[in-house]
Amino acid sequence: MDGLHTTSTTSGPSGPGRLVVVTGASGGVGRACCARFLAAGDRVVALGRRAEALDALAQGLDGERLTVRRCDVTSEADVVDVFGALDGTPDVLVNNAGIARSAPLHRTTLADWEDHQRVNATGPFLGTRAVIAGMRARGSGAIVTVASTVGRVGTPYTAAYAASKHAAVGLMRVAAAELAGSGATANAVCPTFVDSPMTDRSVDRIAERTGRDADEARDALGGSSPLGRLLDPDEVAAAVAWLASPDARSLNGQTLILDGGGIQA
């Protein structure tokens, strides 16, 4: 792939679909978000860093309204280039790209700390900065950030991840305050562990460090919330799509927690 794979942008069922940008699009939640917006008749620009994963995404989804583009969300130049090439300000931005690694605080390296801040906090900052003025001027639009339950609480062994997700939630609240009254909104979803490649990597690390087998490690993660299971990526995508819909136009600056009731806010 040469960095840009694009297809035609046909109209949705009731006219031209919205322009939706999804970062981290080739992972479990990102892919589910792309599929849901495409099914609604929207035009989707799917961003990611790995060409092979974006190729697989393009081949696996209905591509009539899908554009895939390589973009490192931590690179100001990449973000400026990608958003500058869009046909105007997106109607929806989904800040989904993220990383997660765990370690006790005293063993968390500075490199891990900085990696988490770059991807999980700077990435949403650069994307949000690219669209917020246009949404405010136009008087419509939705920014939805995929954070985490640890963006609302602290849990052991997640210092870098939790701090970066708290930063992402704080950024969302600032964006919401600046958009208030304009007709555009900024909100976040905060899921517990999701059945996704990111969680698969966490399972592998737990198994390696504790001697548990992978099934035991997966069950432990799934049982860490009142749900007693891992979230399906489409459950997260459904929440994202709702926050981006006209039905949620009165919500701004909110965190929608997806954990079965463990955190009540």
CA 205 to chain centre: 22
H-helix or E-strand containing 169? helix 159-179
CA 127, 100, 37, 50 torsion: positive or negative? positive
Q: In the beta sheet, which residues pair with residue 15?
A: 12
Residues with a known catalytic role: 161
Contacts for 86 with CB less than 8 Å, ≥ 6 apart: 19, 21, 45
Radius of gyration of the chain (CA): 18
Residue 90 CA to residue 143 CA, distance in Å, equals 9
Residue 33 CA to residue 124 CA, distance in Å, equals 16
Residue 205 CA to residue 101 CA, distance in Å, equals 9
Contact between 175 and 128 under an 8 Å Cβ cutoff? The reply is yes
